[in-house]
């Protein structure tokens, strides 16, 4: 079973995301254990202080090194895991994506540090942290929502949790975006579901979906196509679309 510790000073923010739906099911079924760890439990002063003013002056506060060092060392030693991976959520980190989520789903123990204020003391980053993750080029007030997003993406990929078929066509599985979906009714306000989807011809449906995926990726995220190993017929189809567009 994978173990995930989230180190935070605002546990309340992380209370909800793991108590509903799929992630709750993964916890209940024993695929993952998720612990919210209060950083203030690793302070030794009356005020349980976790932050302090930045050396050199300037705006805001910085998370102090001592509680974070003690927390990470304690969580590692108590985990029982052979290896723990310590992740700092930061807008300065490597952009998170499905490939990284898949790799993290192979880990035994993750410790996610949720930053606050101006961030964490640099000595934490340079000594304790194995990896820095950003969930996008924007700045959140704290790392909790970023950590929740990472945990959600990783847990649903834990081996055996979701059926392989459910993941097979998903966006980014092959670096392509997923094809469009339709459900009943087959006609709504004059808008009809593409007839191929009602045909029962599974070969044709698969071909249509593949082409829709390629078209959608070309329109929305052409950068992904450069990295993907496309089949010769995919390349032909993309050339066809490009010609039609020019
Ligand atoms: N001063 C920092 C900077 O300019 O890089 C930003 C600090 S931000 C206000 C507070 C915390 O929110 C960060 O330490 C980090 O944990 C989290 N955070 C903010 N944006 C994030 C993002 N895009 N991805 C991951 N974590 C983020």
Same domain, residue pair 137 and 17 = yes
Nearest ligand 1 atom to alpha carbon 133? 25
Q: What share of the chain is helix, strand, coil (3-state, %, to 5)?
A: 45, 20, 40
Contact between 62 and 120 (Cβ < 8 Å): yes
In the predicted structure, residue 227 carries a pLDDT above the cut 90:
no
**pLDDT-derived band of residue 164, with 50, 70 and 90 as boundaries?**
confident
Per the rule left: phi > 0, alpha: psi between -120 and 50, beta: everything else, 71 is alpha
pLDDT over 80 at 186, yes or no: yes
Same domain (yes/no): 176, 191: yes
Confidence of residue 208 (pLDDT cuts 50, 70, 90): very high
CB-CB contact of 118 with 59 (8 Å): yes
Give the pLDDT of residue 228: 67
Nearest CA to ligand 1 atom 26: 90
pLDDT at 86 over 90: yes
- Residues 188 and 126 reside in one and the same domain: no
Structure tokens at 66: 């001592």
Q: How far apart are CA 125 and CA 115, in angstroms?
A: 11
In angstroms, rounded to a whole number, what is the distance separating the alpha carbons of residues 61 and 51? Answer: 6
Please give the distance, rounded to the nearest whole angstrom, from the Cα atom of residue 80 to the centre of ligand 1: 30
Range of the domain at 214: 169-245
Report how far apart, in Å, the C-alpha atoms of 72 and of each of 14, 176, 219 are: 19, 37, 44
Are residues 32 and 105 located together in one domain of the fold? yes
Domain count, the chain: 2
Q: Is 214 helix (H, G, I), strand (E, B) or coil?
A: helix
Task: Answer yes or no: do 151 and 173 share one domain.
Answer: no
Asked whether 132 lines ligand 1 (CB < 6 A), one says: no
pLDDT of residue 204: 97
173 and 159 housed in the same domain = no
| Domain identity same for 72 and 144 | yes
Q: Do residue 124 and residue 231 come from a single domain?
A: no
**CATH no. for residue 102?**
3.40.1280.10
Q: Is 148's C-beta closer than 6 angstroms to any atom of ligand 1?
A: no
Same domain, 131 and 214: no
Domain end marker among 147, 163, 179: 163
Rounded to whole angstroms, the Cα distance separating 115 from 184 reads 45
Which whole number is the average pLDDT over 165-175? 77
Residue 169 pLDDT class (50, 70, 90 cuts): confident
CA distance 235 to 232: 5
Compute, in angstroms, the gap from residue 3 CA to the centroid of ligand 1. 24
Our answer on whether the CB atom of 115 is closer than 6 Å to any ligand 1 atom is yes
Measured CA to CA, the distance from residue 9 to residue 113 in angstroms comes to 10
Residues 68 and 176 in one domain: no
CATH code at position 233: 1.10.1270.20
Tell me the per-residue pLDDT of 127-144, one tens digit each, with 9 for 90 and over: 999 999 999 999 999 999
Listed residues 104, 128, 163: the one ending a domain: 163
Residue 79 has a pLDDT of: 96
* Cβ atoms 143, 86 nearer than 8 A: no
Q: Looking at the structure, do residues 138 and 195 belong to the same domain, yes or no?
A: no
- Give the residue from 129, 163, 197 where a domain finishes: 163
- Is the domain of 37 the same as that of 21? yes
* Bridge partner residues of 158 (DSSP): none
pTM for this entry: 0.93
Question: What are the pLDDT digits (tens) for 42-65?
Answer: 999 999 999 999 999 999 999 999
Is residue 173 scored above 90 in pLDDT? no
Tell me the average pLDDT across 187-211: 97
DSSP assignment, residue 119?
Answer: -
Cα-to-centroid distance, 93 and ligand 1 (Å)? 9
């Amino acid at each position: 079973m994978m173990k995930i510790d989230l180190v935070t000073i605002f546990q309340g923010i992380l209370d909800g995301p793991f108590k509903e739906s799929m992630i709750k099911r993964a916890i209940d079924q024993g695929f993952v254990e998720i612990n919210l760890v209060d950083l203030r439990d690793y302070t030794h002063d009356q005020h349980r202080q976790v932050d302090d003013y930045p050396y050199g002056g300037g705006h805001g506060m910085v998370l102090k090194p001592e509680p974070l060092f003690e927390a990470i060392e304690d969580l590692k030693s108590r985990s029982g895991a052979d290896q723990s991976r310590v992740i700092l959520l930061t807008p300065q980190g490597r952009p998170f994506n499905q490939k990284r989520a898949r790799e993290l789903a192979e880990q035994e123990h993750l410790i996610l540090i949720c930053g606050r204020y101006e961030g964490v003391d640099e000595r934490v980053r340079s000594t304790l942290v194995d990896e820095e993750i950003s969930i996008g080029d924007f700045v959140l007030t704290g790392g909790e929502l970023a950590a929740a997003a990472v945990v959600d993406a990783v847990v649903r990929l834990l081996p055996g949790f979701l059926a392989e078929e459910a993941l097979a066509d998903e966006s980014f599985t092959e670096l392509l975006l997923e094809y469009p979906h339709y459900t009943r009714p087959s006609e709504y306000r004059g808008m009809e579901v593409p007839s191929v989807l009602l045909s029962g011809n599974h070969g044709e449906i698969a071909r249509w979906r593949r082409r829709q995926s390629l078209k959608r990726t070309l329109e929305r995220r052409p950068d992904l196509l450069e990295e993907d190993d496309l089949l010769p017929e995919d390349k032909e189809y993309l050339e066809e679309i490009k010609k039609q567009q020019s």
